[in-house]
A and B are shown apart, each in its own frame.
Chain A
Amino acid sequence: MENAKVVEQIKGKFADAIIEDIEFRGDLTIVVSLEKLHEIMLYIHDDESLHYDLLSDVIGIDRLPREPRFEIVYVLHSMDDFRRLMVKVMVDVDIAVPTVTDIWKSADWPEREVYDLLGVSFSDHPDLRRILMWDDFDGHPLRKDFPLKGKDFDKKWDPSTIKVM
């Protein structure tokens, strides 16, 4: 199935929810509205001809100072003819993105990673905890306003509580 046909089919079903479709270096990206995200994802997973059954990754991008601040990209593959599709959604600070773990189990850890490193939360996620940083870490290191060396890198530490003095 070609990229143009994929866009046509998704647009036919969700005409007003597709904000933009971009084809760059052979890969197709569709930008969708946050409200319809879960519905579109369910459709492209279940539909017989689209059938994107492998979710490879969930990527968060901080676009500071742009509004809305974050972009979440879902990389999908279909095991029928190995098509690739990227679905992008824009989201502001403190707005939760509906989880897709009920559709693809593989979204579990990547969503936790986006939550941990960028601070975008996912609603209805079964186990939304920090994953790479420790539990009481303060801040989200991949945000663009987080300094490269960490914000307390030059302060003294109290070894007994492992906290900044």
Chain B
Amino acid sequence: MAEGKILTINMGPHHPATHGVLRLVLELDGETIVKVTPHIGHLHRGIEKLAENMNYQQVIPLTDRFDYTAASLNNLGYCTAVEKLLGIEVPKRAQYIRVIMSELARIMGHHLWIGSHALDIGAMTVVFYAFRDREMIMNMVEEVSGYRLTPSYMRVGGLARDITPEFIRCLREFIKWFPTAVAGYNTLLTDNIIWRKRTQDIGVISAEDAINYGLTGPSLRGSGVAYDLRKVKPYSSYDDFDFQVPVGDKGDVYDRYLVRMEEFIQSLNIIEQALENLPEGPVNVDNPLIFNPQIEDVQEDISALIRRFKIQCQGPEIPEGEIYHAVEGSKGELGFYLVGDGTEHPYRMKVRSPCFILVSALEKLMLGHMIADAIAIIGSIDIVLGEIDR
């Protein structure tokens, strides 16, 4: 077609289907996409620069703001990264509670994904059910941490506090209820003929291409590569639990959908095992150089008071070294590259954000498809702009 017939349109930054402030410049030949140029950075807050001027514990609330749909997973990634740099391991009970919180966060992230993904394509009902069940988890998170969206529940060296009996009661109720809820989402979408026609054979990417373009998480597993960091590089006692890594085979939008639907069940499975085998004991490491002494000790013991004062004013000192540590976020490989220089501030903190790489692969996924399919493809890779722009 002649050059003059190419139509350039601007999708975003304020477009409901871009899931945040993402701007896509689409070049269209009729209704077919011939070029995609994503523009990001509207939500850039300079978290990496800010972190260089804070102490290690103060960075934790910032990490909540990466992927705010599944904030506990970011806490887990950051805290385990600092602990890897320190060379310490938190008590077993803390590891299990961290697993419970992060799997709940993964379910929360997937709830937001399924709600908005289906809503974008035109299935409005799902979002109400998804948010009804998301609310149950939000209440549980509020019960243990005091916050709903940005819990900041984990600390370097353990947790902010232990879980409560009320939390365990709610969690048991949720475990009993949730399989019914997932079956409900399945009824609405999986065999829905409109859903299938909108998602099958759309945004296909082969396993080899997916790896080369750096896709991770459910987007990579949809293409049939079983790369799940919980299995291949276990952290926080994930090797204690028995769970499956669902994979697709074709790598289209529908396969990525099926993988995430199965992850709902697998996450619930992990939570159930962690709750049943929850060990007793402390939730913080017994290391006065890293963690605050207990409040009871502070009230009785002058040396504990001094230690607390030092940690509160200066923060823990982290040794020199460089590590890369990655956890399986709800969107993919969430990595932290930390450079410690022996002071209380990180010398450099780089976040490997899965969504950042996923958006860079958008052009590969979209080329040759209709403009309406662009919406389905953006939904299927499940992006959160807070994590892309950092």
Contacts and interface: CB of A to CB of B under 8 A. Distances in A.
A86 B324 contact: yes
A148 interface: yes
B213 A105 contact: yes
B227 A132 contact: no
B337 A54 contact: no
B233 A82 contact: yes
A134 interface: yes
Interface stretch (B41-49, B58-66, B308-316): B41-49
Contacts of A106: 212-214, 357, 360-361
Contacts of B389: 132
B356 interface: yes
Given A59-B350, A133-B41, A75 B335 contact: yes
A28 B41 CA distance: 32
B106 to A, nearest CB: 20
Residue of B85, B321, B360 with most partner-chain A CB within 10 A: B360
B53 interface: yes
B212 A105 contact: yes
A79 to B, nearest CB: 6
Interface string A42-66: 0000000000011111011110000
Nearest to B354: A56
A84 B324 contact: yes
Contacts of B85: 25
Given A141-B49, A142-B49, A55 B44 contact: no
A142 B333 CA distance: 23
B321 A148 contact: no
A109 B390 CA distance: 14
Contacts of A110: 356-357
Given A25-B84, A59-B337, A75-B352, A54 B233 contact: no
Interface residues of A, number: 36
A104 B360 contact: no
B339 interface: yes
B46 A141 contact: yes
B333 A79 contact: no
Contact of A104 (B214, B216, B352): B214
Contact of A79 (B46, B227, B339): B227
A115 B303 CA distance: 48
Contacts of B232: 82
A131 B40 contact: yes
Contacts of A113: 356
A29 B322 contact: yes
B214 A56 contact: yes
Q: Which label, helix, strand, loop or mixed, suits the secondary structure of the B interface?
A: mixed
A2 to B, nearest CB: 15
A131 B389 CA distance: 9
Given A75-B335, A82-B232, A142-B48, A25 B360 contact: no
A24 B41 contact: no
A21 interface: no
A25 B352 contact: no
B383 interface: no
B211 interface: yes
Interface in B324-360: 324, 326, 333, 335, 337, 339, 347-348, 350, 352, 356-357, 359-360
Interface string A133-161: 11000000110001010000000000000
B335 A57 contact: yes
Given A82-B227, A82-B232, A148-B49, A57 B337 contact: yes
A26 B110 CA distance: 32
A110 B347 CA distance: 19
A27 interface: yes
Contacts of A142: 48-49
Contact of A24 (B44, B321, B337): B321
A84 B335 CA distance: 12
Contacts of B390: 132
Nearest to B356: A109
Given A75-B352, A82-B227, A109-B360, A56 B44 contact: no
Which of A56, A61, A113 neighbours the largest number of chain B CB atoms within 10 Å of its CB?
A56
A73 interface: yes
A75 B41 contact: no
Closest 4 CB pairs of A and B: A106-B214, A82-B232, A109-B360, A57-B352
Interface of A: 24-25, 27, 29, 53-57, 59-62, 73, 75, 77, 79, 82, 84, 86, 104-106, 108-110, 113, 117, 131-134, 141-142, 146, 148
18 contacts: A53-B212, A57-B337, A57-B352, A77-B227, A79-B225, A82-B227, A82-B233, A104-B212, A105-B212, A106-B360, A106-B361, A109-B356, A110-B356, A117-B48, A131-B41, A132-B44, A141-B46, A148-B49
Given A75-B324, A134-B41, A148-B53, 18 more contacts: A24-B321, A24-B323, A25-B321, A29-B322, A55-B214, A56-B216, A57-B324, A61-B339, A77-B227, A79-B211, A82-B227, A84-B233, A104-B212, A105-B361, A110-B356, A132-B40, A132-B41, A132-B44
